[in-house]
């Protein structure tokens, strides 16, 4: 086959695959077998591998996921993605209708009712019919570019059926069955479970490795136009029908109704039918159908006046509380968890629910064997709402918290101002185990393959007692573990080795110092540059740092003074774990940094720069040794002000802080530093 023949066949295959993607993932009407579809895809992959010049941005082969991304770049939305105002009852719906009818001035009012998908809001931009940019909502004005991850979703068309330029808004979500499969897989690997499908969808789309996003079964419903060139449909109903004809997946359960009574009927029907859906919803979105009237009504600062979200109440279920299990966290807090008879709630089977602390148990009068109401709302895990005392039989038993730690049997204490019971024994094995689970987590040292179950096995076999022990593990130690073969052991050792080269802030966060989150860890790492300098810092010095308050300073100073911590740091150093800050600006030997007038300066950015984004400017400043902060104070050395600078500029003038405009900033960059 020559190039011309290959080109014709590749174009034919793309059209065939696109059509069957649309039939399967949008229309839910497949007409060919999976085997036939896979054969077409394999043929197209072979052609593109043999003739790389035939690869196109909209090829279906691009859905498998590209190379890992270093970070997500920021994307400004052409039209702000506003959030919706919420209503919770019929009266509030009627008040919304009154406001709309008043604005309509006697014109007929029709509404479009749509199911409120519990997922992640996304924007999709198409240029001449080809997918150009896909982004998250972000703060409504600026989101993150997740184009490569959105391309992995087969209901997202890479090429539209017309060569139009437009932006659409939608909701990316994970179907219930896919969510259950994902959590079952994570549980088998000892990885933490996602709380709900929305978190799973958001976590999947914000993976820096598109291949991981491609492995998870996500979907997208498009629910509206954001921006478009050319003639716009007159109503939202016509806009949705047109978007459907372009190849987008639009929710088939939408309805256009006359008046608020039709809206209330729709809400009541779907409140009852909600469990039958293959995806999670948390309410109904009600939108004015007439687009011209929408423009007349306009928006508030946060939300449109022509739309509202009716939020369903959190789902509840009744079950029996059989037992209360106690767990000790990495900070020593003892947390009670209810063990329940399994019950379906919000699309998942619930067997456990949070009881938070002893005061909650006492306040609700909970006894073992009680019938209880449990609720799952938002991001929280299920919680016990109330006890059904009328169902008591007399066989129920009271529960009281223990006086001693369930793991190490040290006496539990309640610190001043706290409601939680806490184990303060630094040698408590439960705290050490939970501390290791935190240490290896993705936000910390990111040691893949060391999930909760593996860490627990390592403890039970006496192979680890603290984080430093991880770096002493050998292959023969690992292959003795359950479900740990030669390859898995090799991969785990490789992940441990890779973690040694991470920057200091990851290590600081991983050590689990009380009150030190990821942001504080970076502030400390960026200021002190090396673990040795941080370990010598006094509480007074730490408090003087911007963004480090007295609680964090006291906690860090106390932590670093402990003999067992000093020994852990010594062993980590000996194992080859990096102790330096490797972020932007850490290397004072890079081109121009030594000569930079910005080295060691505290800098604030404000306004809009024409030559780069604020994030790019911040990264550049850090690469020159500057400490970039978000607010102006007496500690600020320099303010860089772009166009439309506001209150920060006024405050800097009052404090007599040096102010540069963009031109001055660029002139002061050392030679050899790229902008």
Q: What pLDDT was estimated at residue 287?
A: 97
Please confirm, yes or no, whether 273 is among the known catalytic residues: no
Residue 67, pLDDT score: 57
Torsion of CA 421, 424, 425, 430, to 10 degrees: 50
**Residue 490: burial class (beta carbons within 10 Å; 0-12, 13-18, 19+):** middle
Judge whether residue 64 has pLDDT over 70.
no
User: pLDDT tens digits, residue range 573-613?
Assistant: 999 999 998 875 443 333 344 456 777 788 888 888 877 76
- CA-CA distance, 14 to 40, in Å (whole number)? 9
> How many percent of the chain have pLDDT more than 70?
94
Render pLDDT for 364-385 as a digit per residue (tens, 0 to 9).
999 999 999 998 755 456 889 9
Is the confidence at residue 496, as pLDDT, over 70? yes
Q: Are strands 638-641 and 658-661 parallel, antiparallel or unpaired?
A: parallel
Cβ–Cβ < 8 Å for 171, 119: yes
Report all structural domains of the chain as residue ranges with CATH numbers, in order of start: 3-64 (1.10.287.610), 86-311 (3.30.470.30), 317-398 (2.40.50.140), 429-499 (1.10.150.20), 504-575 (1.10.150.20), 602-667 (3.40.50.10190)
Contact yes or no for 603/576 (Cβ under 8 A): no
What confidence category does residue 498 fall into, taking pLDDT thresholds of 50, 70 and 90?
very high
What pLDDT sits at residue 675?
47
Exposure pattern of 108-147 as b/e (b: 16+ CB <10 Å)?
ebbbbbbbbbbbbbbbbbbeebbbebbbbbbeeebbbbbb
Mean pLDDT, the chain, whole residue set: 87
Q: Give 174-192 pLDDT, tens digit per residue.
A: 999 999 899 888 877 767 7
Has residue 625 got a pLDDT over 90?
A: no
Active-site residue (options: 7, 116, 311, 500):
116
The pLDDT value given to residue 379: 44
In this predicted structure, the answer to whether residue 302 has a pLDDT above a threshold of 80 is: no
């Amino acid at each position: 086959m020559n190039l011309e023949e290959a080109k014709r066949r590749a174009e034919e295959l793309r059209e065939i695959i696109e059509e069957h993607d649309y039939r399967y993932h949008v229309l839910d009407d497949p007409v060919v077998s999976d085997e036939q579809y896979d054969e077409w895809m394999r043929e197209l992959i072979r052609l593109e591998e043999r003739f790389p010049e035939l690869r196109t941005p909209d090829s279906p082969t691009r859905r498998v996921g590209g190379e890992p991304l270093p970070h997500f770049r920021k994307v400004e939305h052409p039209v702000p993605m506003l959030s919706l105002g919420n209503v919770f009852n019929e009266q509030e719906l009627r008040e919304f209708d009154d406001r709309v009818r008043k604005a309509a001035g006697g014109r007929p009012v029709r509404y479009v009712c749509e199911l409120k998908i519990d997922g992640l809001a996304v924007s999709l931009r198409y240029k001449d019919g080809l997918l150009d940019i896909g982004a998250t909502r972000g703060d409504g004005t600026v989101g993150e570019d997740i184009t490569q991850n959105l391309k992995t979703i087969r209901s997202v068309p890479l090429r539209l059926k017309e060569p139009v330029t437009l932006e659409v808004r939608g909701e990316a979500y994970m179907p219930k069955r896919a969510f259950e499969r994902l959590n079952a897989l994570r549980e088998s690997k000892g990885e933490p479970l996602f709380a709900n499908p929305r978190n799973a969808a958001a976590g999947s789309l914000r993976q820096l490795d598109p291949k991981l996003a491609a492995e998870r079964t996500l979907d997208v419903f498009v629910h509206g136009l954001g921006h478009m060139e050319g003639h716009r449909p007159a109503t939202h109903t016509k806009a949705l029908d047109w978007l459907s004809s372009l190849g987008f997946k639009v929710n088939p359960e939408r309805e256009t109704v006359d008046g608020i009574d039709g809206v209330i009927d729709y809400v009541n029907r779907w409140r009852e039918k909600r469990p039958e859906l293959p995806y999670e919803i948390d309410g109904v979105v009600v939108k004015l159908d007439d687009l011209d009237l929408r423009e007349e009504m306009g928006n508030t600062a946060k939300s449109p006046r022509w739309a509202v979200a009716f939020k369903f109440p959190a789902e509840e279920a009744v079950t029996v509380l059989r037992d209360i299990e106690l767990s000790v966290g990495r900070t020593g807090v003892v947390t009670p968890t209810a063990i329940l008879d399994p019950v379906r709630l919000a699309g998942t089977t619930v067997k456990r629910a949070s009881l938070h602390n002893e005061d909650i148990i006492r306040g609700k009068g909970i006894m073992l064997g009680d019938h209880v109401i449990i609720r799952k709302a938002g991001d929280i895990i299920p919680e016990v709402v109330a006890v059904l005392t009328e169902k008591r039989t007399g066989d129920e038993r009271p529960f009281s918290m223990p006086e001693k730690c369930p793991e190490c049997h040290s006496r539990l204490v309640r610190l001043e101002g706290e409601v939680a019971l806490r184990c303060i024994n630094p040698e408590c094995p439960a705290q050490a185990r939970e501390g290791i689970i935190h240490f290896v987590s993705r936000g910390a040292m990111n040691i893949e393959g060391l999930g909760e179950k593996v860490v627990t096995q390592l403890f039970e076999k006496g192979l680890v007692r603290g984080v430093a022990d991880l770096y002493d593990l050998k292959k023969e130690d690992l292959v003795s573990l359950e479900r740990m073969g030669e390859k898995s052991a090799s991969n785990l050792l490789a992940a441990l080795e890779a973690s040694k080269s991470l920057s200091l802030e990851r290590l600081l966060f991983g050590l689990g110092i009380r009150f030190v989150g990821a942001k504080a860890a970076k502030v400390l790492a960026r200021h002190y540059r090396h673990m040795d300098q941080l370990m010598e810092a006094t509480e007074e010095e730490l408090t003087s740092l911007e963004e480090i308050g007295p609680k964090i300073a006291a906690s860090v100073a106390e932590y670093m003074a402990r003999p067992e911590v000093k020994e852990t740091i010594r062993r980590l150093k000996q194992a080859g774990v990096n102790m330096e800050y490797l972020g932007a600006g850490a290397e004072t030997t890079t081109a121009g940094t030594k000569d930079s007038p910005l080295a060691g300066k505290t800098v604030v950015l404000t306004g809009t720069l024409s030559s780069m984004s604020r994030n790019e400017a911040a990264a550049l400043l850090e690469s020159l040794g500057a400490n970039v902060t978000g607010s102006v104070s007496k500690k600020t050395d320099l303010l860089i002000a772009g166009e439309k600078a506001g209150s920060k500029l006024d405050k800097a003038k009052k404090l007599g802080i040096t102010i540069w405009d963009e031109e001055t900033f660029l002139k002061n960059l050392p030679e050899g530093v790229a902008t």
